[in-house]
Amino acid sequence: MKKYIYKVLSVGVFASLALSSCTDLTEPVYDSIPADQFLKTDAQIAAALGPAYGGLRGITWDWFNPSEASSDELIVPTRGGDWYDGGDWLAYSRHTWTPQHGPINGMWGFIFGNISQVNQLIPVVASNQKAVDELRAVRAIYYFMAVDAFGNVPIVTDNKSSAATKTRAEVYAFIVSELTSAIPNLPTGKAYSRMTQDAAKALLAKVYLNAGVYSGTTQWQKAYDTADQVIKSSNNWSLASSTLSNFIVQNQGSNENIFAIPFDSFKAGGMNFQMRTLHYANQQTYGLGNSPWNGFCTLADFYNSFESGDLRGAMWIKGQQYAASGAKLKDAKGADLAFVADWEKDQMTDADAVYQVAGIRSQKYEIQKNNPNGDQSNDYVFLRLADVILMRAEAAFRLGNTAQALTDINAIRTRSGVAALTTVTADDILAERGRELAWEGWRRNDLIRFGKFSTARKFMTVTDKTRELFPIPQPRRDANPLLTQNPGY
């Protein structure tokens, strides 16, 4: 059974615990903690910080979707009457979104709503600097998402801060400052699902890796050194026996997952990738209590980038689909249900013979069989050792240390049963990151850093580099005139 480190409780509960009462109560109170005993134990700190961590569960929708559906590895085609949604999904694939795009507005709300929640929590735990610094590290996750997606955003650290737009370089510098100052005070061990020193360093390495994009000045050496510290940590992180073993239903035991966000089929919903990608009829394949939605799939070129014999290819669901009984599944027209890698249209109608079966589906997150709920119990993997090793490889390559880059990349390739590289290029590194980190939310980030996000591909002809930033949503600008719109919108 999954054991949670934190519970999601209301800010008001902690505020009441932190305040002393001036009333002489006539009856003993058994459900509160005296102010002078509050935040004295690790368990109390973990519970107090629960809302900040609980908000991260929105990552599977509000961060994952725009990060992946705008890239070359995931597409959400319109299937008859399904998944059109006003053209929002097609806009991701075509890079034609506007400031009125509803899901992008939702991503802004997810990021800044959680920043606001952290800001409200910090005064509550102000008496404990360790708790404050842990909250600052969590807030840095949200600010990382903000600077990556929107670039120029406000820096708000309390309810009185100005909501005026700061430059992307200023936001980058703020994130670096927050993490570097918080890290010494963070937990040193393997505190699952919390921002430990290693988790914060892994995030900081990611920030440094993208410094050239965010600030205009590369920081390859800092990216290398910070990733190296995580790899050589006294916590002895290690690569799992296989990539996919980090994504099983009960994946909290992975020694590779440095920072994961807990989910539970009954208690903490939101992990529902199986519902998004599986065909309706696949309900019979896995004994699901709910019919899947037949949406997300991968693009043929990305699927074909996996080499023959690559064990990571097991993440894909392809070809003829079967019920648990072994019977062939059929589509709505009575034809055999067999997923195909390639098709001609990103928007389909009921008249298209392949509209239901277009695209290879993903089972990177193990599908929980005989699950009565639409949500699963796999924890969402945000930062893991393989990513950090590939970050060090990329930084080493940029610094001219190709020997180290090859060593790191080949450690990842060897685990997956593919031949070691003898030479390495930037394209090799990008391709390896794609195969290793597929459907983990990093592809847009990687493509932008490698200068490939705006390269024309199937279903996408818009090559305007202004699309490397999402627009500041118009509803947010209407509410706050101090927000400055990004170029190109």
What is the DSSP pairing of strand 361-362 with strand 319-320? Answer: unpaired
Convert 166-216 into a string of H (helix), E (strand) and C (coil).
CCHHHHHHHHHHHHHHHHHHCCCCCCCCCCCHHHHHHHHHHHHHCHHHHHC
Mean pLDDT by groups of 10 residues along the chain of 489 residues: 43 34 36 59 85 96 98 94 93 97 98 96 94 97 98 91 89 98 96 96 99 98 98 98 98 98 97 98 98 96 97 98 97 89 82 78 98 98 98 98 98 98 98 98 98 96 96 96 96
Q: What is the pLDDT of residue 350?
A: 59
Residue 247 in contact with residue 365, Cβ under 8 Å?
A: yes
Q: What is the pLDDT of residue 38?
A: 65
Residue 154 sits at φ, ψ, to 5 deg, of: -70, 150
The DSSP letter of residue 258 is E
What is the DSSP pairing of strand 316-317 with strand 319-320? Answer: unpaired
Model-level pTM?
Answer: 0.92
| Long-range Cβ contacts of 317-322 (<8 Å, 24+ apart) | 317/277, 317/278, 317/360, 317/361, 317/362, 317/363, 318/360, 318/361, 321/279, 321/281, 321/282, 321/285, 322/285
Please report where in the chains the tokens 């009960």 appear, as a residue: 250
Distance CA 49, CA 138 (A): 9
Residue 41 in contact with residue 154, Cβ under 8 Å?
A: no
At a CB cut-off of 8 Å and minimum separation 6, what does 112 contact? 142, 146, 156
Distance CA 289, CA 371 (A): 6
Q: What share of the chain is helix, strand, coil (3-state, %, to 5)?
A: 45, 10, 45
305-335: b (≥16 Cβ within 10 Å) or e: bbeeebebbebbbeeebebeeeeebebeeee
Residue 269: Cβ within 10 Å count: 15
Distance CA 57, CA 229 (A): 28
CA-wise closest residue to 243 among 387, 404, 427: 387
DSSP SS3 for 385 = helix
Type of residue found at 195: M
